[in-house]
Structure 1
């Protein structure tokens, strides 16, 4: 059994021998207003691994966009994708991938897709949720007792809709038995490379990423980029609290509310922060907001007043006082220095 099979934690599903030599076949379900980047990255890794060079013939890999109606599916960018075939036998694929996007505009997948995914699960076909595709797998009742990955940007949305789950937001993808979930964006390329490595070969996976100008394949445990943090710790509770802080920079929430979301007491959160970072949650939150303000002042042309609002300060004067105490200069001085260097 390979390392990948041990990671999956289940008996490997027998991959059907195909007369045309294909080793990996993936079916895609695109939700309305899906994220084009996540879908394109995934498909391009398969495309480049499937043939010699950049010829794009589906020799070693096959990819198919599935549909109930065969209507074109609009992405969040407005570009539409036309399906290849109707929903049929899911066992013809090695994986079924649900690619999500703007979750508020697609309340559910619909009965036909839910039935199809349930049938795929019953047949032992591994299911993959990309971006908010994870939301839809859960809505279909297919993530019970599974760990799942969501983007740090959608973490709060997931908690609001599914209070019984504890999603992972500090990895680029999570493999848990016959469910794989991915934060989306560029991480979908790394997930696709993981599958190509497993079924086709490491050389083909590396070739795909290199042609796409991605240096190396990243494992699922690699943390999501999010907003750069100077505060680093291995304490999982503190990391999750920091993530919530990142997601609420413009509207700071209390430590009590953070504790409630994490299912712990305020005192427990404060104790973990003191042991892990030798600071309080309040001080850590202020550091995050000021670090983001520093980034905005240096790299954007937003007014200082707008930066203050974006970072949860009541006005530019409030920001300037805290900023100078943290960095030894005001936002205006930093902005002028950045303009001179530019």
Structure 2
């Protein structure tokens, strides 16, 4: 038996599922079953490491394209906290006819920083909201023409399982939805959680795609301000040897004040705070996916010592690094 005290107090991955009328059941089921198996030890289906909710404007049944109906578990709540909101659609033109309440909820959550995911023709709704203009969009070959005719500013891509822009992710649906959800589980919960789900679902291990740290500011790499985009790229290149703001600005040929103002406009934070959180995210991933010591991780993430790293990690993730690793990775590795 395992003590409940050994489990994390909060899930590592919180997902809101938003199926539209006539959504396709397969990608929805792929994602839910992966989350279910990754979320708990053995096969108890408790929402410990992952948490998911089925969201809608009301509690009325939502009909899938196959005729089955599902019931929402929660009504839209802009105050709810999710790491991702995933929009599922299917038959056209139903994907373009989302209720005003759904569009308003997604727009508000996106504006407040929650990444939106479009699966199958769920990408059509994201395009309709103007979130994919001048961007690549992972698209099902069957709907390439629909996308081009309705949203000529969007660039359809047919050979990718998903495309992650940070604030928006697109996926063509079908079995590709499994690639995407394994990617998200691996990034937020660690490879052990994703591998446990793959074993339970009898999926080929090649589907695990999380080989790098989850970057909390991925959207800044495509924010439209070259100063911020370049600075974030430099930050990610210098995780183990952090640069001062003045050094970053110097490399870019601008003043520290200019760079700081750009970050306040685009991120609402200083460059130093963004850089620290990028380094902490790298440490988070190393704790989940390696056996390196806390001291080694602190060094690799550019902190002066393990105490400095531990203090900031505790403040950001609510647990000291050792406790975090014990409650996530070590328990996950011995799951059946």
Tell me the equivalent position of 1:116. 105
Q: How does 1:2-13 map to 2 (within 5 A)?
A: none
Choose which of 179, 192, 197 in structure 2 pairs with 1:190: 179
Cross-structure match for 1:213:
202
* Residue number in structure 2 paired with 1:251: none
Q: Residue 163 of structure 1: which of 146, 152, 163 is its match?
A: 152
User: Counterpart of 1:75?
Assistant: 64
Correspondence for 1:177 among 162, 166, 173: 166
Aligned equivalents of 1:95 and 1:206: distance in 2? Answer: 21
2:279 corresponds to which residue?
none
Match of 1:87 among 76, 86, 93: 76
The 2-side partners of 1:106 and 1:199 are apart by 29
Q: In 2, Cα distance between the equivalents of 1:106 and 1:178? A: 20
Q: Any idea what SS the aligned residue of 2:96 has?
A: coil
CA distance in 1, matches of 2:79, 2:172: 24
1:10-89 maps to which residues of 2 (within 5 A)?
Answer: 20-89=9-78
Deviation string 1:86-130 (CA, Å, 9 cap, x unpaired) is: 000265111000001102234321211111111111111111001
The superposition leaves residues 108-162 of structure 1 with CA deviations (integer Å, 9 ceiling, x where unpaired) of 2121111111111111111100111000111122223332111112112211211
Counterpart Cα distance in 2 of 1:113 and 1:158: 20
CA contact (8 A) 1:152 1:169 kept: yes
Unaligned runs of 5+ in 1: 1-17, 221-342
Aligned pair 1:154/2:143, yes or no? Answer: yes
What root-mean-square deviation, in Å, do the aligned CA atoms of Structure 1 and Structure 2 show?
1.9
User: Aligned partners of 2:79, 2:117: CA distance in 1, in Å?
Assistant: 13
Alignment correspondent of 1:144:
133
Separation in 2, partners of 1:90, 1:153 = 36
1:150–1:181 CA contact under 8 A, matched in 2: yes
Deviation at 1:54, TM superposition (A): 1.5
SS in 2 for 1:193: helix
Cα shift readout 1:198-226 (whole Å, capped 9, x = no counterpart)? 11110110111221111124377xxxxxx
Structure 1 moving runs of 4+ over 4 Å: none
> What SS does the corresponding residue of 2:17 show, helix, strand or coil?
strand
The answer for the alignment partner of 1:98 in structure 2 is 87
Contact 1:206 1:217 (C-alpha < 8 Å) held by counterparts: no
Contact 1:108 1:139 in 2 (8 A): no
Alpha-carbon distance in structure 2 between the residues aligned to 1:162 and 1:188: 23
Indicate the SS of the match to 1:27: strand
Alignment of 1:324-335 (within 5 A): none
TM-score in terms of structure 2 length: 0.58
Partners of 2:8 and 2:79 in 1: CA distance:
19
Matched residue count: 204
How high is the TM-score relative to the length of structure 1? 0.57
SS in 2 for 1:109: coil
Q: Deviations over 1:264-312 (max 9, x none)?
A: xxxxxxxxxxxxxxxxxxxxxxxxxxxxxxxxxxxxxxxxxxxxxxxxx
Deviations 1:38-89 (A, max 9, x none): 1010111111000012211111111101110211101011111100010002
| Separation in structure 2 between the aligned mates of residue 219 and residue 171 of structure 1, nearest angstrom | 15
Does the aligned pair in 2 maintain the 1:76–1:101 contact within 8 Å?
A: yes
